[in-house]
Amino acid sequence: MKAKIYHDKYRRKLVLKYADRRIALKKIIYNKSLPLKERMLAQRALSKFPRNSSPTRIINRCVITGRARGVKRLFRLAKHPLREYARKGYITNFVKSSW
């Protein structure tokens, strides 16, 4: 599971690294007033970026277990570690409900 967590961190780092360049190229690509050749060059430059630099490649994973399902976005924890941490009191204002 540690490999999955490592890959997730690597992808997130690459997305941040290429974010500004990616946005600039996308603006050029979608600008209809520019010549087609310039837009195609921007498209080619965008396709040369690493695959993992695309934001759609990021998968929400638990930072502890590496699990991809049942992850709460606010805490980036899967449901099982979240319950355990809440029970121990590590997460503030997170209380088991009782009625």
Write out pLDDT tens, residues 35-94: 999 999 999 999 999 999 999 998 899 988 889 999 998 889 999 999 898 888 888 888
* Model confidence at 1: pLDDT above 80: no
DSSP string, 41-96: HHHHHHHTS-GGGSGGG-----TTT---SSEETTTTEEHHHHHHHHHHT-STT---
Q: What's the whole-model pTM score?
A: 0.74
Is pLDDT above 80 for 99? no
What is the per-residue pLDDT for 50?
A: 93
Q: How confident is the model at residue 95 (pLDDT cuts 50, 70, 90)?
A: confident
Q: 2 pLDDT exceeds 90?
A: no
How do the domains of the chain map onto residue ranges? Answer: 1-59, 61-99
Q: Domain 61-99, what architecture?
A: Irregular (4.10)
- With left for phi above 0 and alpha for psi between -120 and 50, is residue 89 left, alpha or beta? left
Give yes or no on whether 1-59 and 61-99 have one common fold: no
| Start-to-end C-alpha separation, the chain | 37
Name which residue leads in pLDDT, 97 or 16.
16
The architecture of the domain spanning 1-59 is Orthogonal Bundle (1.10)
